[in-house]
Structure formats: C-alpha cells, structure tokens
Structure 1
Amino acid sequence: MTDKQAQFAGTQEVREAHRFDEKRLANWMETNVEGYEGPLTVEQFKGGQSNPTYKLLTPKKNYVLRRKPPGKLLKSAHAVDREYKVITALHAQGFPVARTYGLCTDEEVIGTWFYIMDCVDGRIFWDTTFPEIDKEERGAYFDAMNATIAKLHSFDPDAICLGDFGKKEDYLARQIGRWSRQYKDDAEAGRFEEMDKLCEWLPANIPDEGPARVVHGDYRCDNMIFHPTEPRVIAVLDWELSTLGDPLADFTYHLMMYRMPPTETAGLVGRDLSELGLPTEQEYVEAYMKRTGIETLPNVDFYMAYNMFRLAAIVHGIRGRYLRGTASNKHAAAMAERVQPLASLAWEQAKKAGATD
C-alpha cells in the first residue's frame, strides 16, 4: 500500500466536527431513497478534502453521501447540488458515474445540503505511476483514463440536458477571475508573491477557446474508480468543480501529472516513463486528439500555468479552512503547506509561456 493509499483510502469513524443526527438521515432516506431498508450505519471516507463524504451501510446495499461541510463557507464553493445535477445527467448517457438517489436542500436533516448515490465497488489508485499494477498493464490504465475524459468532452451539453449548467463563453476569464477573487478574499490563508503575479499575468494572456463542453475540473487518477480486475473506469468521482467550459483546460489539468514532480500529487517529472510502462506526454496528448478529432493542442504552457494556479488557489482554500478549523480531511495541515510550491511551479510554466519576472 502506498503512503497516499494509507492516508486517504478506506473509511474511519465519523470525525467529531462532521457528525450529525443519523436517525434523521435514516428517516429522510426511508422517504426519499428508492429501495432503502435500514438499519443504517455511517462511516466517513478518509479522503474528501472539500466536501465530507460518508459511506452509508445497510443490510442489502451501501450508499455514499456527499455534503457541504459545516461552518463558514466561501461563496460558490461546495456546490453539492451541481454535483448531483451533472452526475444524474451523465449517468443517463451511460457515462461512468454512480447512480444518484436524491438531493436534500433541507438543512434541518443533517445540518447542510447533501446528496446520496450508489457506492461503486472497485479500485482507486492514489499514485499516478500505478505501482500496484504490473508494468505491462499500466499503459492500458492510462488509456482508460484518456478514453474516459475524451468521452466526457464528446457530449454536446444541450443534447444531454446540461445546456444551462454554466455559461458557455469566456470560461478561462471567468475561472481566472473566480480563483483570483477566492485567493484574495481569504485573507486568513495569507498572500504569496507568485500567486499575486499570476493574478495579473493570466487574464492578460488568455488564448481563444473552442466550443464549450462539460468539464470535470479535477480529473485525475484518484478521482475515479477502476473495475476490480480490468483496466476500465467504472465511476468518475468528485464533480464539485464541474461546469461548462473549455475542454482543453480540463484535459491539460489532467495532463499536469507530466509536469509535476513526484513530491506534488505523485507527478511524473524525472521519472523513467519507459521503465514504468507509461506513455509519454506527447503520446498521451496524441491519443486524446485522435479520440476527440482535434488537430492541434496549442498554448499548452499557458494552460499549465492556469491549471497550476487554479490548483494552488484550491489548496489555498484548504489552507484557510485548516486555519479556521473547518477542513474536512485530517491531512489538511500538510495540504496547507503546498500553496507555495504549487505557486512556484505555476509561475515557472507562465515563464515558459512568455511571462517575465
């Protein structure tokens, strides 16, 4: 078991700060969840930095509950209602997501909004190198990730009842503005020089965007469940950041694994990809291009700078929640120290795209 699997995989007793009235939840499920039969036992998943996530065990089947965290929340964050909407729509299209059962916006039930979905049994890999898999098979797992995100970006939002899931224009400008504001507004989490420079450089260098598609927003190997024995994605998780937008921004976020050092989210910089049995960045890009029918993938360095900035802003938010005592993951303290390294990586990518100190 890798260090990250030991830290984040599996469940534990519900943390004190995230407990709720389980009897009230059971009563709500009896009325709103098709086929529910108690008694109910509640455990908390170790992972889930933003929205606390719980495993709901019953004699006949298990469910997963995702909720907004308790306490002071940043505006527009923790949108479990949006997660519920996109998962429900994509499941209807045969895309690999869990079946949903219900959304509750009545805070009297457990204290915050939540939704319930199937508990999908399979494997989650927390290390991008897939060390648990034989070298000869790892390429197939990478190909499965590639095929799944390409399928997501193939959907016309209007055709799958998600045409109103977000604005279709100026995705990058809106995202940069959103994360810049969130970074600047969270004064308790502190300010960082590279983040301040990126807040100025990024909006002045935005490239043209293609047609809007559903974007996941946090697509990486540990946000998907693989089949128990096959190199096949059976459920993509954690849709909190999903919206309509530039699919290349979404794909290059996933592609960051090739630009990150092993110390950051198990990145691949400096790793011998051939020895690991993994495709190169160019091979991975070409597979995505072939599947989506695009001829070029321009402005990769800009997209990398944007995505690393965005990731640093997300971690900055975790830092703020940690300092306020509302972070949902007990490893948030370590996450809080990642803002500076991520900001530095983002600025290095910006300099590759033409930024100057």
Structure 2
Amino acid sequence: MTAEATSPRGLDLAALQRYFEVHVPDTAGPLRAELLHGGRSNLTYLVTDGHSRWVVRRPPLGVLTPSAHDMGREYRIVAALQGTGVPVARAVALCEDPGVLGAPFCVVSHVAGAVLRTHEDLHALPQADIDRCATALVEVLARLHAVPYEEVGLTGFGRPGGYLTRQVRRWRDQWSRVATRELPDLDTLHQRLAAEVPAESGAAVVHGDYRIDNAILDPADPGTVRALVDWEMATIGDPLADLAMALVYRDPAFDPVLGGSAASTSDRLPSPRDLAEQYARASGRDLGRLAFHLGLGYLKIAVIAEGIHARHQAGMTVGHGFETVGDAVPLLAAAGLRALAEGNPS
C-alpha cells in the first residue's frame, strides 16, 4: 500500500503509512489525513484508510518547554483509564521513536461526536441542554478524581507529594523560557503563590486542561460525554488544581487564546461559584483553599498562552487564529492576582 494523499503540515503520511502497516493491524488501505486542530497544544490529525478512523497526536512544531507535550504520558493515561468509567478513546499505538515522523506520536481510536469550541456552537443548544452538559462535565471530573490511580497502573505517573510547590516553580521556569516581554503582574502573581503554597488537598489523576472543548459529546444528548481528549498535561496531583483550571477557563480573560469566542467563557454556562458547588457535592471535597488554586491556574494558562504566542511569532504554529493569543497573557496574570485577593469564586 502507498500513501498518495497530500501530507498535512507536521505529518509525513508516507512514513505514517509504513508505521501503520506494521503496528496498526486494522489498516486496510492508503491513509489520508487532515489537521483537526494544531499549534495551541499538540497537533491533532484525523487519519483514515477509508474503512477505519484514528486520531494521531504529535507535539507542536518549534522549540518546546521541558516536560510539555510528552506523548508517552498522554498515551499511558488514556490506556490506564480504559474501563474505569471515565470516557476516553481506545488506545491504539505509541511511537516514541522520533525517526518516524520527526517527533514521538500516539494513535487512538476516533470517537465520533460533537465538540463545542465557540459561543456559536454552545448557543445553538437550548439552555436545558447547556445546563445538562455543564453538570455532566462536573460529574465526569469528579469521577476522574475518584479513580484509584495505583490500582489502574499509574503508580509513579506523578509525584503527589510537593505537587503544588513544584507547579509554582515549574510554571515560573516555563515563563523564563517562553517570555517575549516583561510582565510585572506575572512576576507578582508568582511571588504571591510561592509564599502561600498550602498543603495538598489529596492526590488523584488530574487532566490538567479540563474544559468543555476537550470533551466529545453525544450529538443527540449533550448531557453525555463520549470521551475526554487532550491528556498531554495529565499527572497525579491535587484535584483542586484541576477544578481551578476548569473555573479559570470560564473567565472571559481566556477568550483571546481561542480567537475571541471560547465556549468555556459563555455566560450561558453556570457561574464559577455554581460549578464549584456542583463539584463539591459530586466529589465531597473541601474547597476552602480554592483561591490559591485559582491563582495557580491563571499563572499556568498565562504561561501556556505566552508559549503559543512565542511560537506564532516564530512562524511555528499550524492553523489559524493565533493573532490574539498574546493579548490574553496580561489579562490572565491580572485575573490571577484578583483571584488571590478576592478569595473563592463568586
């Protein structure tokens, strides 16, 4: 078999064909591929041989920050969560040899469904369906945090002890690597967080990037999550950090990262306070120190956005909609300082 179709940027289709013929037994014909989305996180491609459909994920182009875009971690977590009740795609193959595509990559089954990326996508639904979708996402997050990670083979996947201290240090270090400008608010936010690190609230599998457009929904029932995707930042850590990230994504300050209309920021979704209360009921966790986690979430997303902005300036992004990402960084840093000053979400 040969790959005659045009290769999308970042994916050598002929090389992928050779790999699939050896490592993916269901391959039955020449592969075709299209970029689903890319550049903001790992590059994601829909691949088909005309019979089966898969998703291939590889790191973005350009210089990467340490510990980010680890395809082995992403694949391992998806494989471990099979059968746990947390909806994920079927793990198919992991290639850690950069000689095949120029970078490691993983392959999972394609899960058909709806992804709500923009306000327009979300607002096409009746309010009752939006409310049911939000509730389902909170319940799935609580379910993820309840997975006995040692029992599913994730011992050593992360280091729960000292997680928050390492996160504060790591994201300040990442900033020093990707920053394209000086930003006093970000420096102050880091200093405040470093001085206020609380004890961990617990240890659980954390997604690390939990928001509505990282979920594939049943098109006939938006209250059913078919699969969570984009596990590149998953680890074992404090579950409140995961909740806080989901709440930070609810802030309109995040909008420029996704081109100005991120579904997660819609005011038709429940408020951050309502989402937090839903999670507390579903999980039974104490949210007393949530303000710190919110500040940390803002720091993390600000640094991620700056990294995307830096790659875009260097011409290393794939796709479109990157022109506004850099605008989000000062907004997010300022919002992080407000979160620490104001306490838990309102």
Give the TM-score normalised by structure 1: 0.87
1:349 paired to 2:339: yes
Map 1:262-341; keep pairs closer than 5 Å. 263=255, 265-266=262-263, 268=265, 271=267, 276=268, 278-294=269-285, 296-341=286-331
Paired position in structure 1 for 2:171? 179
Aligned to 2:41: 50
What is the CA RMSD across the aligned residues, in angstroms? 2.2
Aligned counterparts of 2:249 and 2:91: Cα–Cα separation in 1: 30
**In the alignment, does 2:169 pair up with 1:202?**
no
Residues 69 and 349 of structure 1: CA distance in aligned 2, closer, same or farther (over 3 Å): same
Q: Give the 3-state SS of the residue equivalent to 1:155 in structure 2.
A: coil
Deviation at 1:62, TM superposition (A): 0.8
Q: CA deviation at 1:15?
A: 5.0
Find the aligned partners of 2:18 and 2:60 in 1 and give their Cα distance: 21
Of 284-293 and 49-58, deviating more is 284-293
Residue identity opposite 1:114 in structure 2: F
- The 3-state SS of whatever aligns with 1:333 is coil
Is 1:232 aligned to residue 218 of structure 2? Answer: no
Residue 303 of structure 2 aligns with an amino acid whose one-letter code is A
Counterpart for residue 3 of structure 2: none
What does residue 65 of structure 2 align with?
74
- Runs of at least 5 residues in structure 2 that lack an aligned partner in the other structure: 1-5, 257-261
1:216 aligns with 2:189: no
Distance 1:67 1:262, change over 3 A: closer
SS in 2 for 1:343: helix
**What SS does the aligned partner of 2:30 have?**
coil
Question: What's the CA shift for 1:211?
Answer: 2.1
Output the CA distance in 1 between the equivalents of 2:51 and 2:135: 34
| Count, aligned residues | 332
Asked if structure 1 preserves the Cα contact closer than 8 Å seen for 2:207 and 2:233, the reply is: yes
Residues 261 and 315 (structure 1), Cα distance of their counterparts in 2 relative to 1, 3 Å cut:
closer
SS in 2 for 1:157: coil
Post-superposition CA distance 1:73-112 (Å, at most 9, x none): 2222211111000011012424211111111112221111
Tell me, yes or no, if the aligned pair for 2:55 and 2:109 is still in contact at 8 Å: yes
Which SS does the other structure have where 1:244 is aligned?
strand
Which of 54, 57, 71 aligns to 1:63? It is: 54
Partner of 1:139: 131
- CA contact 2:56–2:106 (8 Å) conserved in 1: yes
Q: Contact (CA 8 Å) 1:173, 1:206: kept in 2 or not?
A: yes
Look up the match of 1:116.
107
Cα distance in 2 for residues equivalent to 1:69 and 1:262:
21
Could you tell me how far 1:222 is from its partner in structure 2? 0.5
Residues 20-77 of structure 1: CA deviation (Å, up to 9, x unaligned): 2x12211111111131212111111135512111110112111110012333322222
Distance of aligned partners of 1:49 and 1:268 in 2 relative to their CA distance in 1, 3 Å threshold: closer
Does residue 34 in structure 1 map to residue 54 in structure 2? no
CA contact (8 A) 2:74 2:234 kept: yes
Residue pair 1:261, 1:267 contacting (<8 A) in 2 also: no
Q: Which of 67, 84, 90 is the equivalent residue of 2:75? A: 84
TM-score, scaled relative to structure 2: 0.89
Matching residue of 1:10:
none
Relative distance call for 1:40 and 1:213 in structure 2 (3 A) is same
Structure 1 residues 15, 347: CA separation in 2 closer, same or farther (over 3 Å shift)? farther
Residue 111 to residue 47, structure 1, CA distance change in 2 (3 Å)? closer
> Helix, strand or coil: the match of 2:209?
coil
In 2, distance between residues paired with 1:57 and 1:267? 30
Cα distance, 1:68–1:283 mapped onto 2, change above 3 Å = closer
1:103 counterpart = 2:82: no
Candidates 145, 153, 169, aligned match of 2:145: 153
CA distance in 2, matches of 1:196, 1:317: 16
Distance in structure 1 (CA, Å) of the matches to 2:273 and 2:335:
20
- Rounded Cα–Cα distance in structure 2 between residues aligned with 1:345 and 1:266: 19
Percent identity, aligned pairs only, is 31
Q: Residue 63 of structure 1 contacts residue 117 of structure 1 at CA under 8 Å; is this kept in 2? A: yes
For 1:154, give the aligned amino acid.
A
Question: Within the alignment, does 1:190 sit opposite 2:181 as a pair?
Answer: yes
Q: Which amino acid aligns with 1:211?
A: G
Q: 2:14 aligns with which of 2, 8, 23?
A: 23
Which runs of no fewer than 5 residues in structure 1 stay unpaired? 1-12
- AA of the residue aligned to 1:323: Q
In 2, distance between residues paired with 1:211 and 1:340? 31
**Distance in 2, Cα, partners of 1:329 & 1:176:** 31
Give yes or no for contact 2:168–2:194 (8 Å, CA) kept in 1: yes
Task: Check whether the contact 2:58–2:104 (CA below 8 A) recurs between aligned residues.
Answer: yes
Q: CA deviation at 1:284?
A: 2.6
